[in-house]
Amino acid sequence: MENQVKTNIGVGCFEHPDKTVVASCPNCGKFMCKECATKYDSKLCEDCEKERVAKQEQNYENMKQQHKEQAKNYKKDTVKELIKLCVITVVLGIIGFSIGSSDGMGNGFTMAWLLAGFPWGWRIINQLMDGNMMTWFILLTEKFWIVAYIIKFALAFFIGIFAWPIKLGITIYHVVTAKKYENNVNKAYK
């Protein structure tokens, strides 16, 4: 009976006009016979399914590019960080060496090492003594705030002795892992 109604008004499946309509495409509303309606899991018609797959592929392509780009930028950042560290170390090292070497080569290298480590020691000291700690520290030595700063400088130099080789090691490690990560991402999307 239902069949008759549909054939009577001259509407059949879009692809197979002689077949009974059992559903319509959820996207475009095209009438579909049983064969057409069950062809794809998406329950979409031929055209809409093609469109959906194309869109999905495009999304995947975009994601792939984004992922590759991210890995590349991450590696770039780590390389930049390494270059920055090397430049600072070399510049401070040369200054330190020229100050210290007037008392002999040994002193030159010691000063170079100390000065190269200072920024990293200073940074660590500041991280350890956040704003409140610093206020507390200066208050404690209120009358002798210069002493407080001398202690702070001395600590920064001392921490720097160990901090810069460690920082260098960590930075190189970051570059290596970032490069590995980039390779893996590129391999995964081949």
Shortest gap between Cβ of 60 and Zn ion (angstroms)? 22
- In the complex with Zn ion, which residue's Cβ is closer, 31 or 164? 31
C-beta of 49 vs 81, nearer to Zn ion: 49
- Asked whether the beta carbons of 167 and 84 are under 8 A apart, the reply is no
For the chain, the straight-line distance linking the first and the last C-alpha, in angstroms and rounded, comes to 55
User: Are the C-beta atoms of residues 71 and 185 closer than 8 Å to each other?
Assistant: yes
Shortest Cβ 26–Zn ion spacing (Å):
8
Nearest approach in angstroms of CB 184 to Zn ion is 39
Helix H or strand E encompassing 23: strand 23-24
Pick 36 or 111: Cβ nearer Zn ion? 36
Taking the complex as a whole, the smallest distance from the CB of residue 59 to Zn ion amounts, in Å, to: 19
Tokens of 60: 């995947």
Q: How far is the CB of 39 from Zn ion (least distance, A)?
A: 8
Handedness of CA 40, 44, 50, 56 (dihedral sign): negative
Please say which residue, 6 or 68, places its beta carbon nearer to Zn ion.
6
- Closest approach, Cβ 61 to Zn ion, in A, equals 23
Helix, strand, coil percentages for the chain (3-state, nearest 5): 80, 0, 20
Residue closer to Zn ion, measured from CB, 15 or 81: 15
Residue 49 to residue 57: CA distance in whole angstroms: 12
Place of tokens 């390494």: 82
Of 42 and 73, the one with the shorter C-beta distance to Zn ion is: 42
Binding interface with Zn ion (CB under 5 A): 13, 15-16, 25, 27-28, 30, 33, 36, 45, 48
Spatial contact of 136 and 148, defined as CB atoms under 8 Å apart: no
Read off φ and ψ for residue 23, nearest 5 degrees. -160, 175
